[in-house]
Amino acid sequence: MNFTAWRLALLGLGCAAIWAFIEIAEGVSEGGSREFDKRLLLALRNRSDPADPIGPRWVEEMARDFTGLGGIGILGLITAASVVYLLMMRKRNAAVLLGAAVGGGILLSALFKAGFDRPRPDLVSHLSLVYTTSFPSGHSMMSAVAYLTLGALLAQLHKGRAVQAFILAVAILITVLVGLSRVYLGVHWPTDVLAGWAAGAAWACLCWLVAQWFQKRGAVERGVAVSS
């Protein structure tokens, strides 16, 4: 895929993600998503005991493992290590872009949470500690931003299409697992997660487009940003 086609594809995906976020946000603000959220959240709990999630105990523990992959501590560590690696490889501009992408995503997530100020689910017990508002899911949004961006960077180290597709597929899988774990643990409404994925994907696409624009002009080093 040439540069122009790839850029148009990213632009289309980013616009679709923004549209999805707006639609979900409107539904949440108007209360139209309440029944959908309630049904899906309760479907993941024991009918006789809403405090008990479905499945064996090891599934619950695994969900906590997955949710940790979207925590600020893990994402911060992975991002910091990646930035240092890029600096050691003399990819200073790429390191700055990566840091700005993740840092900007964190700020955007905080602004969204403050703006919507949606309470956490009150239908089931929370199986993970929470201390912020609910919409959108910060774990879902930031995992999308960090893992999709890092996946794109790592994919460019390989020329084979199959390897590139595998790397991006793993990045998407991790993002999905983090979001699903938040609903399973009862700390987010399903629409929180959907909105987080949409916002994270939109921000990641924007960052990829910026990286391409700079790369085309020689401001970002080749081999570390999405290219044709």
| Per-residue pLDDT tens digits for 149-185 | 998 888 877 778 888 899 999 999 999 999 999 999 9
0.75 exceeded by pTM: yes
Residue of higher predicted confidence among 196 and 96: 196
Quote the distance between the C-alpha of residue 224 and its chain's center.
20
Structure tokens at 197: 């994925």
Contacts of 82 (CB under 8 A, 6+ apart): 95, 98, 150, 153
pLDDT of residue 203: 95
Say how far apart CA 145 and CA 25 lie, in whole Å: 19
Whether 193 and 180 have beta carbons less than 8 Å apart is answered as: yes
- Per-residue pLDDT band for 219 (boundaries 50, 70, 90) equals low
- Per-residue pLDDT band for 3 (boundaries 50, 70, 90) equals low
Say how far apart CA 167 and CA 160 lie, in whole Å: 11
Say how far apart CA 152 and CA 30 lie, in whole Å: 36
pLDDT of residue 53: 93
| 8-state DSSP, 45 | E
